[in-house]
A and B are shown apart, each in its own frame.
Chain A
Amino acid sequence: MSAVRTESELLTTIVAALREQMSAAACSVALLDGDELEFRAADGVGADLVVGLRLPVGRGLAGYVVASGQALAVSDVHRDQRFDAETAASTGYVPTSILAVPVEYDDGPIGVLEVLDRQPGSHDLETAARSAQQIALVVHLARSGAEVNAVLSDPRLEELVGLVQQFGQAAEPDRALAAALLRAVLAHGS
């Protein structure tokens, strides 16, 4: 299974669980790609339509949350005359309330998690923030995994990767011998 597919499935699982927990109409996560946000996973009303949509960071509630790093809950979105009704309409659903929390990793924003028309409960912002932390971790791990896969598939490293795989499958006496040999070679090289 590719890293991208795994990431997408994990993100969908997280937003689906959060949507259910909050009895919300929809829940989505958009990740930063340059100065745009791309919706990467969604669950609920309009989910099929929203995944893949791209928005500039410089507008909208989602843009604000990413730019400021501040979570925000708004309970009558339609009163924001600049609310991006076109985007909402293209997903087939215009919400009344939005809760949006930043997805951050290593101090910086990497995206935004949005919950539409939830059943309000105590500590919603914190609940959503915890899901955002999970999302940040998934994205980080997926990106790290993709980097590792890229290294492993580099043709220049083919022989080394093969040797490492053989090393992993070797019996203990052979592993100890191979490790000792490698240490000796490295010591000689330095």
Chain B
Amino acid sequence: MTDPAESSPPAWSEAFEPGRLRPIRPVRLSAPITRTAAWGDGLGTGVKVAVVDSGIDADHPRVAGVTGGVVVEPDESAEGGIRFVEGPHQDLYGHGTACAAIIRGLAPACELYSVRVLGAALTGRSAVLAAGIQWALDHGMDVVNLSLSTRSRALLDVFYELVDEAAVANVMLVSAVNNVPAPSFPSQFSGVFSVAAYAGQDPEHFVANPLPPVEFGAPGIDVEVAWTDGGSLVATGNSFAAPHIAGLLARIVGAHPGITPAEAKTLLRALVDNQ
């Protein structure tokens, strides 16, 4: 097992390193925005959260059930070349379960939806990811966790439109930035909540980057995450930072139904540790 003190941060995490993290200046109000004001009872009751990933193991004790889901996969015979199979499915790798469990831990009463876009077929990866996000938008999700991204610019306009569609529909798109230092999409767009890992371990504590495109830093270095067959792993990656922000957003939406992404971002920025 690695020594957590020596573990390496993923790319884009530099801004959150000790000694380098600079303070931000949140909006100052006559009364401070408190955690209780932002996320109420902290349960995220009834908030629909989609995990666009490798599937979710609904039986994992740290996931505690999944409300619904869909498998999105390439199919040459289907309209648009992509097939949607709604219903229960497995997590192929464990990664989606890890993300779902982090969200469940922060918003125990939210409704989790698994949108499986990762599978054995690698053709049309970006198109399948885009279709998964579209499914989430079409099915009334409030928060969408994207712990994956694409470096391909081929579908830039498609992702651009999806991010705009989410913003006007009050859907919070939470996007992990790439773990290697190269732009990836949709995390690069200002309309998403872009997240990288920082060394904190408290899931309710996070920081903001005064110099985006990466906006928020949340725990993602040597964090214990749920994995396949009811097990767990200690893992590092921006993938695990994003669902922390998604979970906190589920709380915020639960406490403030109809809140816009811009308003939610203001609340988050008021609660960061680096101010």
Binding site for B on A (CB under 8 A): 32, 35, 56-61, 63-64, 66-77, 79-82, 96-97, 101-102, 104, 107-109, 120-126, 129, 132
Contact = CB atoms under 8 A, between A and B. Distances in A.
Majority secondary structure, A binding face? mixed
Contacts of B93: 59-61, 63-64, 67
Given A75-B2, A123-B8, A59 B92 contact: yes
A68 B8 contact: no
A75 B179 contact: no
A79 B228 CA distance: 9
Contact of B237 (A57, A71, A96, A122): A71
B235 A81 contact: no
Contacts of A76: 1, 233-234
A35 B122 contact: yes
13 contacts: A35-B122, A64-B94, A67-B54, A67-B118, A68-B148, A69-B148, A71-B180, A75-B234, A75-B235, A81-B231, A82-B228, A107-B153, A120-B8
B147 interface: yes
A109 B150 CA distance: 10
Interface in B210-263: 222, 227-239
Contact of A64 (B95, B154, B180, B231): B95
Interface string B91-105: 011110000000000
Contacts of B88: none
B8 A129 contact: no
Interface of B: 1-3, 6-11, 53-54, 92-95, 118-122, 125, 147-154, 176, 178-181, 184, 222, 227-239
Contact of B228 (A56, A68, A81): A81
Nearest to B119: A58
A68 B233 CA distance: 18
Contacts of A124: 7-8
Nearest to B154: A107
Contacts of A125: 8-11, 179-180, 236
Given A56-B120, A73-B235, A82 B94 contact: yes
Contact of A80 (B148, B154, B228): B228
A107 B229 contact: no
B11 A80 contact: no
Contacts of A73: 7-8, 235-237
Given A75-B235, A80-B233, A107-B150, A123 B120 contact: no
Nearest to A60: B93
Contact of B233 (A71, A79, A129): A79
B237 A80 contact: no
Given A74-B233, A75-B7, 19 more contacts: A64-B92, A68-B95, A68-B147, A69-B148, A70-B149, A72-B239, A74-B234, A76-B234, A77-B233, A79-B233, A80-B228, A80-B233, A81-B227, A96-B1, A97-B2, A101-B179, A107-B153, A109-B125, A120-B3
A32 B95 contact: no
Contact of B176 (A70, A82, A97): A70
Contacts of B54: 64, 67-68
B179 A71 contact: yes
A80 B234 CA distance: 10
Nearest to B229: A81
Given A80-B233, A121-B8, A125-B10, A69 B181 contact: no
A133 to B, nearest CB: 8
A69 B150 contact: yes
A58 B92 contact: yes
Nearest to A132: B180
Nearest to A82: B228
Contacts of B125: 67, 69, 108-109
Given A76-B1, A80-B227, A82-B228, A121 B239 contact: no
